Amino acid sequence: MTHKSDQTIIQTTHNTARFFTEHRHVAWVALVLTVLWGIFGYFGMPQRKDPDIPVRAALAMCYWPGVGTEKIERLVTQRIEETIAENIWVKRIESTTRVGLAFAVVLLDEGAEDVGKEFDDIKMRLDGIKDLPEGAGPIVFIKDFGTTAALMLTVASPPASELETELRAKSVRGAIEAAREGLPADEAQRRLALVYCYPPSVSPAGITAMFTQFADKARDDGMLTNQRLIEGAGFIGMDATPRGDADSVQAYGENYVETHLRRAEFHPDVWAPALITDPSQTLDVLKKVAGDRYTYRQLDDFTDLIRRTLQTVPEVSKVDRVGVLEERIYLAYSQERLASYGVSPAQLQRVISARNSPLPGGMLEVSGRNVTIAPTGEFTGEQEIGDVIVGASASGLPLYLRDVVDIDRSYDSPPKYLNSYTRRGPDGQWQRTRAITLSVQMRPGRNIGEFGRAVDEALAGVKSRLPEDLVYARTSDQPLQVEENIHLFLSSLYEAIILVVLVSLIGFWEWRSAVLMSLSIPLTLAMTYGMMYMVGIDLQQISIASLIIALGLLVDDPVVAGDAIKRELSTGHKSVIAAWLGPTKLATAIMYATVTNIVAYLPFLLLSGDTGRFLYSMPVVLTCSLVSSRLVSMTFIPLLGYYLLRAPRKPA
């Protein structure tokens, strides 16, 4: 408009800048609505740590125990590969065959829009394979590699308390002194007590058997002679005369473990062995080998309560636990003992299978009424297993299972996975205790801040029903990470406003222009938030980084518009005219500058595949911020400039 005179522009131009200046009551309403729109958009946008990118990898596994790799490759692996390849979106299949196992990794093409649908199709095809060799299968298909935990909460056991250690030491000391009672003084001084402590909830059957084997071996080798068994509530041991000192016995025990046992076979709840020479030092020795206060079984109960509580939170979709030890019922028997009763191992299996079978119920009509029959054949505890009748004794009395086998409930041996948590204790020393980790996932489209607050409230409620000394640690906390990212953006925003004010004060040398520029930033961001909400952009690390980048661009148009208003004021135009005339003269230049900046970032939209999806929010957010900056410079800057800016004083 430089070729037109000011009078012509004033008479012929009708645009948003003029409307917002002349109809200020409408403009103020629009400004308030824009701010409210931005606040609604900011708090209404889903918040998460990373953009939602579908993982296109899945895994198919098939077990065939005891079979060689060549046979599995020919009869199972190739069949799985051919079935998976029937899906048109499969890009690559990588298979590996091991003894007793075949697994194939599936990778979908990036052109597949609905990844879940394609994986469901592959699983349906794999489930249709019904003619696998006998003993092979079933085929397990795992497709949830893309699920990420919004929160990982580790629940750990504290070390055994001093009171518990003192009470146990008192019992152990009494047992040792009782075992040495009546011995000569010199003999009692040379003796050594080897003690294993375990929680009261642990069945002593398995521990006693393993300890007895070691004691027999040590006696036969002459390492521990004149043995006397000591046992009590929560401990078992022996008092014996050692061949050498305590270090020699400890070295012998470690060698026995390496040559006759596996460390994984040790009960995970048992304390380390205690070697005690002087009964008066029992407490000091037990303090060094004391284990954790709560067992894996107790942690299982605690975390199960937490899991069921968290699943009631609307923002939570799924809760998994890592580190839970599965329990089994073990039947220990000897061939001689079974033979003495005329029972074979195969007979035990048949009797237990027949007893522990869920049978269908039915209806029975009695006196004109229907009575429901509900069979109760399944076992509900170890006691019911021992009450099973497996035969008859020589005298004709019933022979129960508990009479011929030792029934013990314990963890999988060896355990497949042991979870622990390492932290620094109050005394500054590192502590490593058993733990179970809960992986909490958030429902799609939810605000991660609300998710964090809801989970905190649920945890606060359930902690009152759990022991006070349990250790809670957030090993991964996405709500905190998102909060830190937002804090980083807000810090950058405050710094940008301060810098704009300082530069405006230095450049324009007046506070009015500085205030106008500082007000343009939050107005532009409010409009940007509203646009982001409309186009479906969520708040995550890429969009936050884009907003930080945009802070350096969104003040360009308001600065140019504000300077144009001051220039028109200096020529003698009234405020109501200069407020819109200045930006109008530069409207074309401002528009082309905005378009140029937008076009510079649009090539990011041309990126294909998951890379394009990951960076999709960057050009969209930058475009929203630049368009908002353009709109603010032609609407609210003229409005605010009318009130704030004044014509510069002419020198006298």
- Given a cut of 70, is residue 1 above it in pLDDT? no
| The Cα angle at residue 231 between residues 226 and 236, in degrees rounded to 5 | 85
Looking at 271-404, list the stretches that DSSP marks H as alpha helix, in order from N- to C-terminal side. 282-289, 296-310, 335-340, 345-355, 382-386, 401-404
Task: Tell me what the mean pLDDT of segment 301-306 comes to.
Answer: 93
- Given a cut of 90, is residue 559 above it in pLDDT? no
CB-count exposure of residue 146 (10 Å: 0-12, 13-18, 19+): middle
Q: What are the tens digits of pLDDT across the range 196-239?
A: 888 877 777 777 877 888 888 888 888 888 888 888 888 888 99
- Given a cut of 80, is residue 48 above it in pLDDT? no
d(CA 175, CA 339): 37
Closest CA to 292 of 357, 231, 202, 402: 202
Asked if residues 619 and 605 have their Cβ atoms less than 8 Å apart, the reply is yes
- With a pLDDT cut of 70, the percent of the chain lying above it is 92
d(CA 388, CA 377): 11
Q: What are the tens digits of pLDDT across the range 243-256?
A: 888 888 888 888 88
What was the pLDDT predicted at 405? 79
- Given a cut of 90, is residue 32 above it in pLDDT? yes
Q: What are the tens digits of pLDDT across the range 498-541?
A: 877 777 777 767 788 888 888 888 899 899 999 998 988 888 88
Tokens of 337: 């003992």
d(CA 616, CA 542): 9
- Mean of the per-residue pLDDT values for the chain? 83
Q: What are the tens digits of pLDDT across the range 269-281?
A: 888 888 988 888 9
Q: How confident is the model at residue 155 (pLDDT cuts 50, 70, 90)?
A: very high
The residues with which 362 forms a beta bridge, in sequence order, are 373
HEC string of 170-219 equals HHHHHHHHHHCCCCCHHHHHHCEEEEEECCCCCCHHHHHHHHHHHHHHHH
* CA-to-CA separations, 397 to 260, 389, 394, 404, in angstroms, rounded: 40, 10, 7, 14
Least confident window among 123-127, 199-203, 274-278, 412-416: 412-416
What was the pLDDT predicted at 30? 93
Q: 544 φ, ψ to 5°?
A: -65, -40
- Given a cut of 60, is residue 67 above it in pLDDT? yes
Q: Give me the residue label for tokens 């948003």.
A: 16
Number of CB atoms found within 10 A of residue 456's CB? 12
Q: How confident is the model at residue 652 (pLDDT cuts 50, 70, 90)?
A: very low
- Given a cut of 90, is residue 427 above it in pLDDT? no
d(CA 141, CA 124): 10
Task: Tell me what the mean pLDDT of segment 428-457 comes to.
Answer: 86
Q: 356 φ, ψ to 5°?
A: -100, 50
- Given a cut of 80, is residue 647 above it in pLDDT? no
d(CA 125, CA 105): 15
Closest CA to 475 of 515, 439, 502, 441: 439
- Given a cut of 70, is residue 359 above it in pLDDT? no
- Given a cut of 90, is residue 544 above it in pLDDT? no
Q: What are the tens digits of pLDDT across the range 314-337?
A: 888 889 898 888 877 777 777 777
Q: How confident is the model at residue 25 (pLDDT cuts 50, 70, 90)?
A: very high
d(CA 42, CA 529): 6
d(CA 118, CA 125): 11
What was the pLDDT predicted at 356? 61
